[in-house]
Amino acid sequence: MILTESFYTRKDVVKIAKELLGKVLVTNIDGIQTSGMIVETEAYAGVGDKASHAYGNRRTNRTEIMFRNGGSAYVYLCYGIHHLFNVVTNVQDVPHAVLIRAIEPLEGIEYMLERRNKEKLTPALTAGPGAMSAALGIVTSHTGLLLRDDAIYIEDRGIKVPAKDIVAATRVGVAYAQEDAMLPYRFYIKGNKYVSKGKGL
């Protein structure tokens, strides 16, 4: 079943990040359906989190999406090249989000390979936030879409991830966040090949 608004509007973004592991992210873009199981996420706890774009209640045109009610997509362009896909959580005016960092390809693998200009399936196809977005066809113009729309949604296919297979670690690429960079806000499925290497693990 497709996750409903009540899944996203809960207040514990760290818990949601953990629960998203094993869920299936589906995109329907340009008439092509592609999907993959989420194997790696990161929580961004809004106002009090220096690594978040919304730290200190910073409200700009770009971050406005995060202040919405949970269940929207927040797509951000990084380094002018990479489209990073986030899920907005919590209720209106609380800018929490979960960055989806990696998936294990399920459907439409041939189209993902084509989008990424690759010949054969390797973990590099979807391991990492920029790579994953490219494979699924996600771009910044999808920001603000509801995750209940046809274009992008997340569903529960009954995949259960045992608690012992969920690993908590520090987030990637947020060294500038000082003490908040030490928080165990990154979660991934132990042993899964499609988990990104990151930089400091």
Partner DNA sequence: CAAACGATTTTCT
Partner DNA sequence: GAAAATCGTTTGG
Q: What is the nearest approach in angstroms of DNA to the Cβ of residue 168?
A: 17
Q: Check if the beta carbon of residue 79 is closer than 8 Å to that of residue 87.
A: no
Cβ neighbours of residue 193 under 8 Å, at least 6 residues apart?
104, 123, 127
Cβ distance 23 to 38 under 8 Å? Answer: yes
The stretch among 5-13, 29-37, 61-69, 158-166 that binds DNA (CB under 7 A) is 61-69
Instruction: Pick the piece of the chain touching DNA (CB under 7 A) from 12-20, 58-66, 158-166, 183-191.
Output: 58-66
| 73 touches DNA (CB under 7 A) | no
- Among 157, 193, 184, 196, residue whose Cα is nearest residue 22: 157
For residue 200, the minimal CB distance to DNA (Å) is: 10
Residue 82 interacts with DNA (CB under 7 A)?
A: yes
Member of 6, 60, 141, 179 binding DNA (CB under 7 A): 60
Residues 115 and 41: beta-carbon distance below 8 Å:
no
Residues 125 to 184 in contact with DNA, rule: CB under 7 A: 128-132, 140, 171-174, 176
Q: Which is nearer to DNA, 33 or 56 (CB)?
A: 56
Does position 123 interact with DNA (CB under 7 A)? The reply is no
| Buried-state track 159-172, b at ≥16 Cβ within 10 A, e below 16 | eebeeeeebebbbb
Overall residue count recorded for the chain in this entry: 201
> Footprint of DNA on residues 35-54 (CB under 7 A)?
42, 44, 51-53
Half-sphere exposure for 176 (CA within 13 Å, toward CB): 5
Q: How far is CA 71 from the centre of its chain?
A: 12
Nearer to DNA among residue 18 and residue 53 (C-beta): 53
Angle at 21 between CA 71 and CA 37, to 5 degrees: 90
Among 6, 61, 120, 191, binds DNA (CB under 7 A): 61
Q: Are 129 and 7 in contact (CB under 8 A)?
A: no
Least Å distance between CB 166 and DNA?
19
Residues that bind DNA (CB under 7 A): 42, 44, 51-53, 58, 60-63, 66, 74, 76-82, 84, 86, 97, 99, 116, 124, 128-132, 140, 171-174, 176, 196, 198-199
